[in-house]
Amino acid sequence: MKLSAPIHYLKRRAKLLHRREQIPLHVALDRIAAAEGYRSWSLLAARQPAASAATALYRQLEPGDLALVAGRPGQGKTLVSLALAAEAARAGRRSAFFSLECTRKDVVDRLSALGFDHGEFQGLFDLDCSDAISADYARAELSAAPHGTLAVIDYLQLLDQRRNTSELSRQVRDLKVFARDHGLIIVLISQVDRSYDPSDKPFPDMTDIRLPNPVDLRLFDKMCFLNAGEIRFQSAA
């Protein structure tokens, strides 16, 4: 949903409303949000950066791509990736979200915070929070998925934590081949190393990806990095 003005202008309107009508600021913010079509200011604020980043990323992706979404904690990796899957579903594409990090309730609540109703995606959005998620597991679940399906795996580093799965580099290679051969889009969420310092550079890059074991990052067709509600793309070549 496009706003009538940038968020900082809407905040300014809310502050003026707060002073003019002598109402609590949170009430003024909610009133401005309602005028923009949102139930509350928190929903508006949560959705806009994630939705904008998801839209920018969605336009970059093509069937056969293996993509990476990375950022520091709290920068919206999961929100952006969920918005991406929801946008694909709203466009009539099948989408799937595999999470080793979130519970089903976490995902449904975050979709709601983004302004999406999980129920509206019946038949197009699959949510899987199994502890057994791995590259092999995802490939099996997506084996009959139609061309153009978008699948998100949350997240890269957790694929490396179970002893009965292949090494991480092998799993990433297998997902790359699977995406290409089946015409799917597979997105992996990734952590950024703790050593990354935003005061040194505004965005992390592929050198900042936290890798518990070596992975050839050139396997990714698209890479995007999140910081402060903005998105930056980088080639892995």
Read off the tokens for 90.
């709203």
When pLDDT is cut at 50, 70 and 90, the band that residue 103 belongs to is very high
Residue 49 CA to residue 104 CA, distance in Å, equals 23
Q: What is the pLDDT of residues 123-180, one digit of tens each?
A: 899 999 999 999 999 999 999 999 999 999 999 999 998 878 899 999 999 999 999 9
The pLDDT of residue 163 is 79
From 144, 112, 141, select the one nearest 126 (Cα to Cα): 141
What is the separation of C-alpha 105 from the centre of its chain, rounded to a whole number of angstroms?
17
For residue 155, cis peptide bond before it (omega within 30 degrees of 0): yes
Give the containing element (helix H, strand E) for 29.
Answer: helix 25-35
49-234: CATH topology is Rossmann fold (3.40.50)
The pLDDT of residue 40 is 81
From 70, 16, 17, select the one nearest 224 (Cα to Cα): 70
Q: What are phi and psi of 56, to 5 degrees?
A: -65, -40
Ranges for all domains in the chain classified under CATH 3.40.50.300 = 49-234
- Looking at every residue in the chain, the average pLDDT score rounds to 90
Q: What is the pLDDT of residues 120-129, one digit of tens each?
A: 888 899 999 9
